[in-house]
Amino acid sequence: MKITILGSGTSTGVPQIGCKCEVCTSTDPRDCRMRASAMVETDEGVRLLIDCGPDFREQMLRFDDFRPIDGVLLTHEHYDHVGGVDDLRPYCAYGDMMLYGDELTVSAIRMRMPYCFRENPYPGIPRIALEAVSPHRAFEIKGVRVMPIQVMHGRLPILGYRIGPLAYMTDLKSLPDSEWCLLEEVECLIVNALRMQAHDSHQNLDDALKLAARVGAKETYFIHMSHQIGLHAEVSCALPPHVHLTYDGMVIMC
């Protein structure tokens, strides 16, 4: 399985508009972070996009070779995770695009993009179809089994996804007891680590390291970082050997 980190940044992206901190002004490309998203490609060539944020267009232009996307897994309805759904349009040339998310996310998309769901739609709109999925109820996309995981984003229940050896969870603050069984034998854990200081609805670096140790995946990769995480080069060096900060365009094989 091949995973491309399309975006490794928090909701504002890094650099953050107007900020002149050492991270926002860094010349290391790894300190430049688009909004969090990943492309998963199975050994059979099935391609699943996880989240479709406002940087989707730029991410596809930079990191993709324009092949069909077989499904889009949405974690939750916040703009930094769904703001690019309209830009899926070019990929709809391959056929209707299936979007999966929990009930709240699916109804939020329907409400925000009513022009996509009218009976006689304007020509050229993205042809998208929505399907609500629930935690612990696995479903299949072209023979690939996807298991939704219940993740708590502060008090908001959202979804993470388990696909074979991979677990992808973003915007996690805590994980209910019921979910740990879904992380057994995970080889590649991708999970959020916002910054050093605590935050109400996101794990900070310490929280993320504790979660990584408890899951015990072979390799753990952090995503959804803010400029307050510090410089990529410095923070990376201080992490345990099997824990990594991601950067935009990073390719992970598992």
Q: Which stretch binds Zn ion (CB under 5 A): 44-52, 80-88, 144-152, 213-221?
A: 80-88
Contact status, residue 100 vs residue 131, Cβ threshold 8 Å: yes
Provide the minimum distance between the beta carbon of 230 and Zn ion in the complex, in angstroms, as a whole number. 10
Contact status, residue 148 vs residue 133, Cβ threshold 8 Å: yes
Query: Rounded to an integer, what distance in angstroms lies between the CA atom of residue 54 and that of residue 11?
Result: 9
Among 229, 48, 36, 226, smallest CA distance to 148 is for: 48
Told to check if 24 binds Zn ion by CB under 5 A, we report yes
Q: Is 16 helix (H, G, I), strand (E, B) or coil?
A: coil
Told to check if 33 binds Zn ion by CB under 5 A, we report no
Provide the minimum distance between the beta carbon of 216 and Zn ion in the complex, in angstroms, as a whole number. 25
Provide the minimum distance between the beta carbon of 214 and Zn ion in the complex, in angstroms, as a whole number. 22
Provide the minimum distance between the beta carbon of 36 and Zn ion in the complex, in angstroms, as a whole number. 6
Query: Rounded to an integer, what distance in angstroms lies between the CA atom of residue 247 and that of residue 232?
Result: 8
Told to check if 153 binds Zn ion by CB under 5 A, we report no
Contacting residue, 70, 77, 87, 171, with Zn ion by CB under 5 A: 171
In the chain, where does DSSP find H-type helix?
56-63, 79-82, 103-112, 205-215, 232-237
Closer CB to Zn ion, residue 46 or residue 52? 52
Backbone angles phi, psi at 209, to 5 degrees: -65, -40
Told to check if 231 binds Zn ion by CB under 5 A, we report no
Contact status, residue 146 vs residue 48, Cβ threshold 8 Å: yes
Site for Zn ion in 2-21 (CB under 5 A): 11, 16, 19, 21
Closer CB to Zn ion, residue 40 or residue 194? 194
Distances 55 to 22, 36, 48, 244, 248 between C-alpha atoms, Å:
23, 9, 17, 23, 11
Contacting residue, 173, 227, 229, 245, with Zn ion by CB under 5 A: 227
Provide the minimum distance between the beta carbon of 172 and Zn ion in the complex, in angstroms, as a whole number. 10
Told to check if 80 binds Zn ion by CB under 5 A, we report yes
Provide the minimum distance between the beta carbon of 53 and Zn ion in the complex, in angstroms, as a whole number. 8
Q: Using CB under 5 A as the criterion, which residues of the chain lie in contact with Zn ion when the complex forms?
A: 11, 16, 19, 21, 24, 80, 171, 227
